[in-house]
Amino acid sequence: MTLALDPSATPPAAGPEENFWVPDGAPSADADVTGVDADTDTGASGDAPAGADAEAEADAGIDPGDEADDAADPADHDPVVVRDARDFGVYARTGGWAFALKVARSVRPGGQPAEGPAARKVSARAFAALAGCSPERVMRHYKAWDMAADDGLVPQFEVLEPGADVELPDADVWLSYYASRNSASSVRGRAISAAAEAEGIRPTKALEVAENPTALRAAILADPGTAEAARGALLDRMREDPELQTEMARAIARTDGLKKAVASEAKVADRIGYVRQIVENGQVKTPAGQTVEAPAEVRAEAERHLSLLDELDDSEEAGEWAGEAYEAVKGLVARAVEEDPALRVQERRTRFYSSLQKATKVFEELTLDEVMEEEIYEEDMLQRLVALQEAIGGCIAALRKAAPTGS
């Protein structure tokens, strides 16, 4: 399509607002040049969907009695209204390309020689002053056109003269080239834009959120849905960001309520893991800590409880179910140990060794040098050690008595 706007209109004096000057009635360049409707991700369309019913038209404020105007001759209407409608049609079909063309055919960035057709062009700063907007906004449109020209969608700047009209791409293509924010061109901005595209949303929306963390905080605090989305995003991020993992762990450890909640959930996870290991590995850990093959009865009970746990919704608390599963399976394991003579002996041997290792480690950690000082001595210390010595002596005697003959 060809852009055909009235070139005879006189621009107003530059003002503080960042708006492109366009002929009277044409849409403002600041009215979201990335698409006709700033609240949609689908880009500009310009036409109502085929088959729109009367109810939808009524909701949109369309009077069914206006159908008689549809076929009216443009000459029957005020010329200013006709021009506005046609300008709107151009913008509805082309979106930001209509404004990018104005920049492309009128702007000569600094450093380029003013020769040939370029002699009539002005700098981005001069164009911005005439338009009443910032030079940065002008250059974002310039760069969008430049990238599209490299892809063969639009003509190069060199062949465009002020006032020239060319065929423009569709509006939905504009979003692929235009970066509405300066941050979009930074390394951080490009990463945010790429992530937004992967999620199927406008990069401009993600960039806006990133530039206003206070607004993001307010949305998280006020809206459970936003908080849930933030939670999921943080978890995904932490899987690949060890530093963020450390920061989150530190923050939780310093907050009593969160610390208790994490400890409680960790206990639930351990119990579910105990049941899951029996099902997936066919092994079970006894109360004394030895790992043995799970009896068929124990494995069947673990499978039953695990299926119930896996069917719980995310909104349901798993703590009570996990506790019931853990206690049921643990009871079966203890009974299986007592009913198997060989396993029962090994269980007691394992428990004794575990206690002996703990006692040895504790005794080795005593600082005997400190006991030699008078200030440290207390009668109770001596009495406890004597009692411990007697207990150890009795244990040694019992073991010697139980030792096989000849050992």
- Number of neighbours of residue 325 by Cβ within 10 angstroms: 23
Report whether pLDDT(75) > 70: yes
Kindly give the residue spans of alpha helices, DSSP state H, lying in 311-403. Answer: 319-339, 341-364, 368-371, 379-402
Supply the pLDDT for residue 51. 47
Kindly give the residue spans of alpha helices, DSSP state H, lying in 118-212. Answer: 124-131, 135-150, 171-174, 187-199, 203-211
**114, 108 contact by CB (below 8 A):** yes
Closest CA to 180 of 144, 133, 150: 144
**275, 309 contact by CB (below 8 A):** yes
101 falls in which pLDDT band (50, 70, 90)?
very high
**343, 336 contact by CB (below 8 A):** yes
What ranges do the domains of the chain cover?
A: 1-47+73-178, 212-254, 256-342, 366-407
25 falls in which pLDDT band (50, 70, 90)?
very low
Collect all residues with Cβ–Cβ distance below 8 Å to 221 and sequence separation of at least 6. Answer: 227
Question: For residues 265 and 319, what is the distance between their CA atoms, to the nearest angstrom?
Answer: 8
Closest CA to 303 of 331, 279, 329: 279
What integer best gives the mean pLDDT of the chain?
75
Supply the pLDDT for residue 116. 66
Mean pLDDT (whole number) for 84-113: 78
Supply the pLDDT for residue 52. 43
Tens digit of each residue's pLDDT (9 = 90 or more) over 137-155: 888 888 889 888 988 999 9
Tens digit of each residue's pLDDT (9 = 90 or more) over 357-385: 888 888 887 766 666 666 777 788 889 88
C-alpha R_g of the chain: 39
Tens digit of each residue's pLDDT (9 = 90 or more) over 149-196: 988 999 998 888 888 889 888 887 887 777 655 555 566 777 877 787
Which helix (H) or strand (E) is 293 found in, with range?
strand 291-293
Strand partners, 167: 2
Q: Angle between the 203-211 and 187-199 helix axes, to the nearest 10 degrees?
A: 130
**114, 97 contact by CB (below 8 A):** no
Question: In whole angstroms, how far apart are CA 137 and each of 143, 173, 289?
Answer: 10, 19, 69
Torsion sign over Cα 80, 141, 137, 36:
positive
Q: Angle between the 319-339 and 296-310 helix axes, to the nearest 10 degrees?
A: 180
**370, 376 contact by CB (below 8 A):** yes
The pTM score is 0.40
Q: How far is CA 359 from the centre of its chain?
A: 50
**103, 125 contact by CB (below 8 A):** no
First-to-final CA distance of the chain: 104
Burial category of 324 from C-beta neighbours within 10 Å (exposed 0-12, middle 13-18, buried 19 and up): middle
Mean pLDDT (whole number) for 87-99: 75
Long-range contacts (CB closer than 8 Å, 24 or more residues apart) made by 106-110: 106/162, 107/138, 107/142, 109/139, 109/142
